[in-house]
């Protein structure tokens, strides 16, 4: 629906995409090729001022007249001499764009003048294209074949952009001069190619001695007056004298260069393609990328339209595509902003639900864990009391001892779960203090010595003296306790576990090496996850699968790193690195 609205909007702008666009394109385009067959003869006021003074006793200065009528430029003798000189050079056609008829009064022509004025190459202007409304010039032939109307079609703003053609009416001056029969109908758009396109001479230039004898040979000669309120026309190129205007029309007819338009359906299809492309871009790319493509498409379409107009006189709309891009951008950016806002609100709601769910889960696990600790403690107390009694049989003593081990194992599970909940809570923070990492390792080793001795495992410690660093003693104790205890737990009897420390300028390094069974390659990336244990250990040793997850988490809280290197049957080595200077968390 939005795409359809954008397309209809662009179609609506097609109605307003012509007049102003034509005028701008005419002025902005480069030099255009034109014919050299057209020559203008301009009648200046100064050429007729003396004649005017003799014909009237008025004290008005002719140089001050700005609304001179065509009759001002009439003098039979002057016109006879002018036409004779032009015709003597054998021009192709001669067009007189001034109306010289009943406005000049009763005129009598002698035989020589009749031959000149009614020469078949000379065409006289009449001010109407309708036969029944013709005002006949003085030299009208009986068949009216030497008449061409100079009536123009003006738009609402008074600018002439089009030419009216009707085979049932009198041919216009351009058709007469170009030798084209009046068989075409329509309102073609005039292709104004600039100003001062044609060679131009004045009456005095033509009449002076030494004027070239072949200047008008095989040329189309158009005679007109200087610009005045009565004779000038408003065109997209500005004000233009009447004979220069008809020179432009004649050139369009000769070169068949009127502005061409294609079917409205083609323009509609063109805008539809642009609509589809623009919407695909704006809905599939980020706003900055989409904006770049929009600007690029607008520039390309405008440049292409201007090039086609300049090179082939073919009109392709510019305002409509630009309006289309702007409308699509405004409409769809607003739509996408609404979608983003709705998605954001939905995401916030989901986050709220997840936070509530997470809190419920934590509360449930914490509640269950705490409630289990009390009965377990009571069970262990009863078991301790029963074990200390001397009246038990050997089998009963062993069973009670096993029950005590199971209860301790269950207690460890509960403690591990509570640790995970605590460290994953948003309020959890590490408490750093200055401490000796070697001292923490030694404390852990002393604590685990009984476990190592029970399996006859050699526990070797090689600690390099180091400076004190800032760390959370409780968390780092948990880290090394877990790693070294696992090393002892997963090492067979009579094996070894080695702990080594060293430092560089920026870091502290600790290695824990054991001669245990090792970790398979496929399990090495999984052991850092919650509730994950090596497949080979699932049934051999007890554990929650939370130890190494917490180890990695605690080390990364300190800005450190942990990794391992292991091979089945050849033991495992853990590498821990901690920065000497840590940031506050």
Average pLDDT for residues 140-145, to the nearest whole number? Answer: 90
- In this prediction, residue 578 carries a pLDDT of 92
Give the per-residue pLDDT at 562. 92
Which residues contact residue 67 at a Cβ distance below 8 angstroms, ignoring those fewer than 6 apart?
228, 229, 230
419-448 confidence digits (pLDDT tens): 666 666 655 677 888 999 999 999 999 989
Q: Provide the 8-state DSSP code for 225.
A: E
Q: Retrieve residue 472's tokens.
A: 């959370």
pLDDT digits (tens, 9 = 90+) for 8-36: 878 777 776 665 567 888 888 877 888 88
Whether residue 99 contacts residue 74, with contact meaning beta carbons closer than 8 Å, is answered with no
Spatial contact of 557 and 585, defined as CB atoms under 8 Å apart: yes
Residue showing tokens 């009648």: 43
Helix H or strand E encompassing 354: helix 319-388
Going by the DSSP 8-state scheme, the letter that residue 112 receives in this structure is: H
94 confidence band (pLDDT: 50, 70, 90): very high
Residue 61: CB atoms within 10 A of its CB come to 9
Residue labelled with tokens 């709601």? 349
For the chain, list the domains and their CATH numbers.
1-30+265-378 (no CATH), 31-255 (no CATH), 433-579 (3.30.565.10)
pLDDT at position 497: 93
CA distance 277 to 162: 35
38-70 pLDDT, tens digit each:
999 999 888 776 665 555 544 444 444 445 788
Q: Which residues pair with 500 in a beta bridge?
A: 462, 511
pLDDT at position 62: 47
pLDDT digits (tens, 9 = 90+) for 477-526: 989 999 999 899 889 899 999 999 999 888 999 999 999 888 888 888 88
* CA–CA dist 515, 573 (Å, integer): 9
Model confidence at 208: pLDDT above 70: yes
d(CA 95, CA 306): 34
Q: How far is CA 266 from CA 16, 236, 270, 315, in A?
A: 17, 26, 6, 12
Q: What is the pTM of this model?
A: 0.58
Q: How far is CA 494 from CA 444, 452, 488, in A?
A: 20, 9, 11
Cα–Cα dist 232/344, whole Å: 66
Count Cα neighbours of 212 within 13 Å in the Cβ-side half-sphere.
Answer: 6
Other beta carbons less than 10 A from residue 430's beta carbon: 17
Looking at residue 54, what is its pLDDT?
Answer: 52
Q: DSSP per residue over 452-513, as a string?
A: HHHTT-EEEEEE-----EEE-HHHHHHHHHHHHHHHHHTSPTT-EEEEEEEE-SSEEEEEEE
Percent of the chain with pLDDT over 70: 88
pLDDT at residue 585 greater than cutoff 50:
no
Nearest Cα to Cα of residue 546 among 405, 414, 370: 414
Region 209-214: mean pLDDT is 91
Does residue 476 surpass a pLDDT of 70? yes
**Per-residue DSSP letters for 550-572?**
HHHHHHHHTT-EEEEEE-TTS-E
Residue 265: strand, helix, or coil: helix
Q: What is the CA radius of gyration of the chain?
A: 52
Report the pLDDT averaged over residues 165-190.
88
**What is the Cα–Cα distance from 310 to 573, expressed in whole angstroms?**
78
Q: Collapsing DSSP states into helix, strand and coil, what is residue 548?
A: helix
Specify whether the CB–CB gap between 101 and 126 falls below 8 A. Answer: yes
Lowest-pLDDT range, 304-318, 363-377, 413-427, 568-582?
A: 413-427
Q: Is the predicted pLDDT of residue 298 greater than 50, yes or no?
A: yes
Lowest mean pLDDT among 72-81, 101-110, 524-533, 561-570: 524-533
In this predicted model, what pLDDT tens digit does every residue of 216-263 receive, in sequence order? 999 999 999 987 666 789 999 889 999 999 999 999 999 988 988 888
């Amino acid at each position: 629906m939005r795409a359809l609205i954008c397309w209809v909007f662009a179609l609506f702008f097609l109605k307003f995409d012509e007049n102003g666009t034509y005028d701008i394109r005419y002025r902005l385009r480069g030099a255009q090729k034109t014919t050299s067959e057209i020559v203008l003869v301009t009648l200046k006021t100064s050429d007729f001022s003396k004649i005017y003074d003799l014909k009237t006793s008025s004290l008005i200065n002719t140089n001050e007249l700005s609304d001179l009528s065509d009759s001002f430029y009439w003098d039979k003798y002057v016109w006879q001499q002018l036409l004779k000189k032009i015709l003597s050079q054998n021009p192709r056609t001669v067009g007189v764009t001034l109306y010289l008829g009943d406005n000049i009064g009763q005129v009598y022509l002698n035989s020589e003048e009749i031959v000149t004025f009614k020469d078949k190459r000379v065409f006289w202007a009449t001010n109407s294209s309708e036969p029944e409304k013709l005002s006949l010039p003085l030299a009208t032939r009986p068949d009216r074949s030497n008449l061409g109307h100079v009536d123009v079609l003006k738009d609402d703003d008074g600018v002439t952009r089009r030419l009216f053609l009707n085979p049932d009416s009198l041919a216009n001056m351009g058709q007469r001069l170009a030798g084209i029969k009046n068989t075409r109908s329509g309102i073609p758009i005039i292709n104004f190619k600039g100003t001062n396109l044609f060679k131009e001479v004045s009456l005095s230039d033509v009449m002076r001695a030494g004027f070239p004898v072949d200047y008008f040979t095989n040329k189309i000669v158009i005679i007109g007056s200087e610009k005045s309120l009565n004779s000038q026309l408003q065109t997209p190129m500005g004000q233009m004298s009447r004979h220069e205007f008809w020179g432009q029309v004649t050139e369009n007819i000769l070169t068949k260069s009127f502005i061409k338009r294609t079917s409205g359906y083609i323009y509609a299809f063109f805008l539809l393609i642009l609509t589809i492309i623009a919407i695909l871009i704006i809905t599939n790319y980020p706003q900055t990328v989409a904006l770049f493509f929009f600007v690029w498409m607008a520039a390309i379409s405008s440049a292409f339209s201007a090039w086609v107009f300049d090179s082939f006189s073919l009109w392709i709309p510019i305002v409509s595509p630009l309006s289309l891009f702007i409308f699509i951008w405004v409409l769809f950016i607003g739509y996408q902003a609404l979608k983003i806002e709705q998605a954001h609100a939905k995401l916030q709601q989901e986050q709220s639900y997840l936070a509530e769910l997470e809190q419920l889960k934590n509360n449930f696990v914490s509640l269950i864990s705490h409630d289990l600790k009390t009965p377990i403690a009571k069970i262990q107390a009863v078991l301790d009391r029963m074990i200390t009694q001397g009246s038990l049989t050997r089998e009963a003593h062993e069973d009670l001892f096993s029950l005590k081990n199971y209860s301790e194992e269950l207690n460890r599970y509960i403690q591990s779960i509570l640790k995970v909940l605590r460290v994953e809570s948003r309020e959890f923070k590490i408490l750093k203090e200055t401490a000796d990492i070697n001292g923490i390792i030694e404390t852990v080793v002393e604590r685990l010595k009984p476990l190592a001795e029970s399996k006859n495992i050699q526990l070797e410690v090689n600690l390099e003296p180091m400076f004190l660093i800032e760390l959370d003693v409780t968390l780092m104790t948990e880290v090394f306790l877990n790693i070294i205890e696992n090393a002892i737990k997963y090492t067979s009897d009579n094996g070894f576990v080695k702990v080594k420390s060293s430092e560089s300028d920026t870091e502290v390094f600790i290695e824990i090496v054991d001669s245990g069974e090792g970790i398979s390659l496929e399990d090495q990336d999984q052991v850092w996850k919650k509730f994950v244990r090596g497949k080979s250990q699932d049934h051999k040793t007890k554990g929650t699968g939370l130890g190494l997850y917490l180890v990695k988490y605690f080390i990364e809280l300190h800005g450190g790193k942990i990794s391992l290197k292991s091979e089945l049957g050849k033991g495992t080595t853990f590498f821990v690195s901690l920065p000497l200077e840590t940031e506050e968390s």
